[in-house]
Amino acid sequence: MTVQKPHLVVVGSVAIDWIITPRAERPESVGGSATFFAMAASYLAQVRLVGVVGRDFPDYAVADLKAAGVDVSGLEIVQDGLTFRWKGQYHENMNDRTTLETHLNVFEKFQPNLPAEFRGSEYLFLANIQPRLQSDVFAQMQRPRLVGLDTMNLWISIANDDLKAVLKDVDVLTLNDEEARQLSGEHNIVKAARAIRALGPRNVVIKRGEYGALLFDADGEMFSAPALPLEDVVDPTGAGDSFAGGFMGWLARPGVEPNGASLRTAMIYGSVMASFCVEGFSYDRLKGLDQATIQKRFETFAALTNFARASLT
Ligand code: AMP
């Protein structure tokens, strides 16, 4: 008898980005929160993608997702519309990013309709996109075991009520430190996490770019995962989504129960996938990885924080 692996549904943006870094520019870089998430998670779990693109979306990107084992039957292609487009610029400090343009395009009228076989999936990640769409997808799922969500400053500003409504059903929220401050109204990150947990998510992961990520878990415990210090960061776009892909991917492994210990391991797989993502433009570096390469980097992370317990007494 073959054991059916758990499935992980992701909804989010599938995009064509225009990326400007201090050293290079890529005007047609395939991106989107769901794309990065799916590419990263594909090494750990059976990923099912829900999203929409327009006629301008390149065929090769759909082929890359398929080659990674992602089920793209929930990706709608709208012939009379254009793909979501985002233009962003990184400054000398690559943690510092300015959004220059956001065009929702086909996302404006998107009504997600999940393929029947997606609805019973065990794991769900609501990647960054309009909170209303995140709610629509959640409502179509039967009874996922674990629900994660990511969002960003734009939605915290313009769709705050919709976001707070969907947050009530979320087990793990991932967001960056500025967004955590914006959502909670608290400057201190510990207070911000506590205030956010009061909105619904039992676990909160605060991403801090090159400084790693902090987990505030359901038991009130804290855990800190480093980011890998890299000499050459090519393009940080998608690091947060790749983190979420590694994180949720681990939790969706057969036999892994979500608890304080597995969430910590998930934080490291998240950090591992984010570290690969930033080494190239788009998902270039996430493509064609293998389990041995991923595992080697996992060990690098373990070594990075491994220290002997000592005592002065
Ligand atoms: P990250 O670097 O992890 O924050 O994610 C970057 C990706 O998010 C890019 O590939 C963009 O296409 C996508 N993105 C940017 N703004 C939005 C938005 N408002 N909603 C959904 N996705 C977005």
Ligand 1, residue 243: give the atom nearest the CA. 3
Is ligand 1 within 6 A of the CB of residue 238?
yes
Cβ–ligand 1 contact at 240 (below 6 Å): yes
| For ligand 1, atom 6: residue with the closest CA | 238
Ligand 1 pocket: which of 128, 163, 282, 283 to mutate (most atoms within 8 A of CB): 128
291 Cα: distance to centroid of ligand 1 (angstroms) = 27
State the DSSP code for 211.
Answer: G
Query: Band of the pLDDT at 220, cuts 50, 70, 90?
Result: very high
Task: Give residue 15's pLDDT.
Answer: 98
Whether ligand 1 lies within 6 angstroms of the CB of 33 is answered as: yes
| Ligand 1 centroid, distance to 13 Cα (angstroms) | 7
| pLDDT exceeds 80 at position 4 | no
Per-position DSSP letters for 73-142, written without gaps between them: EEEEEETTS--EEEEEEE-SSTT-EEEEEEE-GGGGG------GGGTT-SEEEE-SS-HHHHHHHHHH-S
- Does 153 contact ligand 1 (Cβ within 6 A)? no
Q: Decide if pLDDT at 94 tops 90.
A: no
DSSP code at position 209:
G
d(CA 13, CA 131): 12
- Evaluate: CB of 19 within 6 angstroms of ligand 1: no
Phi, psi of 78 (to 5 degrees): -95, 115
pLDDT tens profile 15-74: 999 999 999 999 999 999 999 999 999 999 999 999 999 999 999 999 999 999 999 999
The Cα 16–Cα 5 span in angstroms is 31
- Binding site membership of 235 for ligand 1 (Cβ less than 6 Å): no
Average pLDDT for residues 177-204, to the nearest whole number?
97
How far is Cα 174 from Cα 201, in angstroms, rounded to an integer?
10
Ligand 1 midpoint to CA 242 (Å): 12
Which pLDDT score is estimated for 66?
A: 98
Task: Give 257-285 pLDDT, tens digit per residue.
Answer: 999 999 999 999 999 999 999 999 999 99
CB of 282 shorter than 6 A to ligand 1: no
Ordered DSSP codes for 230-298: -S-----TTHHHHHHHHHHHHHTSTT---SHHHHHHHHHHHHHHHHHHTTSSTTTTTTT--HHHHHHHH
Tell me how far the alpha carbon of residue 100 lies from the centroid of ligand 1, in angstroms: 12
> With a 6 A CB cut-off, is 105 part of the ligand 1 pocket?
no
Of the pLDDT bands very low, low, confident and very high (cuts 50, 70, 90), residue 5 is confident
C-alpha 224 – ligand 1 centre gap (Å): 24
CA of 156 to the centre of ligand 1 (A): 14
Tokens 């997606």, located at residue: 118
* Average pLDDT score over residue span 216-223: 96
Q: Which two tokens mark 137?
A: 């997808």
Q: Which residues contact 14 (CB under 8 A, 6 or more apart)?
A: 32, 34, 35, 49, 51, 52, 53, 57, 75, 83, 84
Closest listed residue to residue 260, CA positions, set 289, 209, 223, 293: 223
Task: With a cut of 60, say whether residue 2 has pLDDT above it.
Answer: no
**pLDDT score of 1:** 55
Which residue puts its alpha carbon closest to atom 20 of ligand 1?
129
Atom of ligand 1 nearest to the CA of 128: 21
**Ligand 1 pocket, 237 CB below 6 A?**
yes
Residue 31 alpha carbon, nearest atom of ligand 1 = 10
Amino acid making up residue 121: S
Mean pLDDT (the chain, rounded):
96
Residue nearest to atom 9 of ligand 1 (CA): 32
* pLDDT of 192: 97
Compute the average pLDDT of residues 170-193: 97
Ligand 1 touching residue 52 (CB < 6 A): no
Q: Is the pLDDT of residue 211 over 60?
A: yes
> Is residue 205 predicted with pLDDT exceeding 90?
yes
User: Ligand 1 centroid vs 16 CA: distance in angstroms?
Assistant: 10
Task: Please state the pTM of the whole predicted model.
Answer: 0.97
